[in-house]
Chains A and B, each alone.
Chain A
Amino acid sequence: MGFDPTKDKAIEEQLVKDLQAGKVSSFEQLANLYQKNIYTLSFNLTRNATDSQDVTQEVLLTLFKKGHTFQGKSAFSSWVYRITLNASYMKLRTRKKEPNLSIEDLLPSLNGAGFQQEKLQDWSENTEAAFFDKETRRVIQKAVDLLPDKEKVVFLLRDVEGLSTEKVSEVLEITIPAIKSRLHRARLFLRKKLASYFEDYKTRKERK
């Protein structure tokens, strides 16, 4: 169970008031409310359980020690996500230079008039059976790992954490149109990676 930003606004507000007033009991409640979100986001970025545990502890400690300084200029959860991202990025010290994702490379081949020329296979109906497959999980995790950071973080906050576009824009301090285009590129990238896996999933299974 984690924090659901769409539902838990009132709980959050009360806890933040308590935290600002220095109430110790609010720390444990906040920790319980946020630790899954913090851990999962960090794990999906670092892909390392030890690092994610460290990050979670650091973030919780920051909430505990600095919570009373929270100004309320942005939503509290945006602040929590921002600290989590910074702490996770610190763990990924050796971050590689990443190429920009070009949308043309992610779309199917189009003719001069902008129409599709290849026959695409609809593998979306085969995914049910593949879902519980360890191999499928591995392929998906790897596809996400391969996303450039700029697109990855938007995908994790928007599609995995379920934040609204506006909220993601607040956390990352970038414009809404930029969030939308990064999210679209991330989704196109994942679609392309999964397509090459699923297009011959059935044949592979039948051969086995």
Chain B
Amino acid sequence: MGVRAAFTLVGVAALTACHDGLQGELGNGWFEYQCVNDTDTFCSDRGTGFRSRRADFPEFVGVGGRFRMDYEPPLFGSAGQVRTASSERIARRDDHFIVVSAGHGGLFARERSGQVLDVVHLDCRAVANVGVERDGEVRGSVELALGFAASVRVLPVTSNDEVLAGAFSYSFTVDDPDRLTVRSHDGPRVRLVGDAPGRTRLHVNLSGQEFTLEVDVVDRQAPEPTGDSGASQTPATQEPDAQLPITDDDASFAEADEDGGA
């Protein structure tokens, strides 16, 4: 009898313990944040590839960011559809949600009969700026060696430099095309080439919101991959095959170079 009870307990524990996501505020199920595509910094892991699902939950989601939300009921529980509390905060679009304004946005799982099963809230923050991550910090400027190409991943951040989740569309332009060239971009990853020394600005259009990133093109004989640029740099004439060694510190940007750029 004791053995049977133990097996039953283990079985129930195994069935109920392994849930991804965040448990709802009523404890009736689990909410799972899912990324719409690899432009969402939360799922791309900033360098280890895209995963649409993650076991954890984003701390902040940016205004304009898109995401999906799934609800997993407990064992023998009722399945529910995820609805948004207010379309003024988080709106529903076809198969995903989009953050409309800053503030806490409630999402709830609703049964077919209309009963609310569980609730979760997302902290929605306005995108204050864009930056690049370097040594665990987000910086608002990039340093680029003259004649070299660098792959940079742009991150949407709050006014406190907290990285925001959510999928965005990205486009890039520069103030001075003679000084800096945008060779290519794939979502938030942009490949820049320093053409002339000096400072210029990279304009980032993030789902319709305009931000700028300062770029310094410096005249250096030898590139310094561990410099402040936050990017691995390769000679513009040698890419993409002849890449410079990347230190461990640059791992967060290694994947950007692997996609080849130009």
Whether both chains belong to one complex is answered with: no
**Residues on A close to B: CB < 8 A?**
none
**Residues on B close to A: CB < 8 A?**
none
